[in-house]
Amino acid sequence: MSPQLKVLLTGSGGQLGQALRASRPEGVELIACGRAELDLADAEACAAAVREHRPDWVLNAGAYTAVDQAEQEPELARVVNAGAPQAFARALAASGGRLLQVSTDFVFNGEQGSPYRPEQAMQPLGVYGSSKAEGEQLARAALPPSDCCVLRTSWVYGPVGRNFCLTMLRLHRLRAEAGQPLAVVADQVGCPTATHTLAAACWAAIAHQASGILHWSDAGAASWYDFAVAIGELGVARGLLQRRAAVLPITTEDYPTPAQRPSYSLLDCSGSRQQLNLPPLHWRAALAEVMATLAGATAEHPA
């Protein structure tokens, strides 16, 4: 990267934001903005941040990610997930900077049964996916093609924040102690993506001055059931759990939620891996690395 590349990061307190801060490359001046510093629901504040800092890149890792709650708060989801990217893009078009917009597999409906390619048409099922799809479109419309990069990812988790991995570790512990099984949906297929590998992809996209649409997830495929089983197994292996709960596969119909989820949302990442020069890491190997991080943190700060 060129010396003192200035990057404005949103969502710096979130799970991806923390991973991006921890892996900041040399030569990057990082302006880290969490909710306290920048309200993504305020389009004028987003534009003002670009005018004030004049970054080379805005890395928009912040978002409204409460998938089910978005069904009750569609306007808030839209202003954060669509209004903020548009505001950043318009301001960057005036200042000459670039945008890296983090997006989601939920822009697809999950009906095709094979990995989605970046160029395929978006068909989101719910408010969250629709708001993210609109954010992609508005950002790309406001910037020259060479100055906007959308990076879609899936099933993000890490050692901090609120995510499926940490929730499952807690539930494994509680259910195992109570002698009760853990029921997890087995008919939704995608790929878990660890925040440390996603952060590496984001920084590589900036280093390569990527544009257009990229797909990034860890390698392989899994259901939520597969993911939950692996979390239990690796949790025991790393000493995070004394024992794991039995995991029972259930269907989506058995676990209704306010928002409909795609039943199959694997992303075709082959072109992105080649463009970013990043080798694939199987999701279970990435999960093992996250578990090692959690085990190290537990050893340093025992409960």
Report the catalytic residues: 128
Place of tokens 């419309």: 141
How many Å separate Cα 263 from the centre of its chain? 18
DSSP letter at 152 equals E
Pairing of strands 189-190, 57-60: unpaired
Distance CA 268, CA 86 (A): 26
Supply φ then ψ for residue 205, to 5 degrees.
-60, -40
How many helices and strands in the chain, by DSSP H and E? 10, 12
Helix, strand, coil % over all residues of the chain, rounded to 5:
45, 20, 35
d(CA 66, CA 71): 9
* Whether the Cβ atoms of residue 277 and residue 215 lie closer than 8 Å to each other: no
Token pair recorded at residue 228: 């939950």
Q: Does residue 64 contact residue 77 with C-beta atoms inside 8 Å?
A: yes
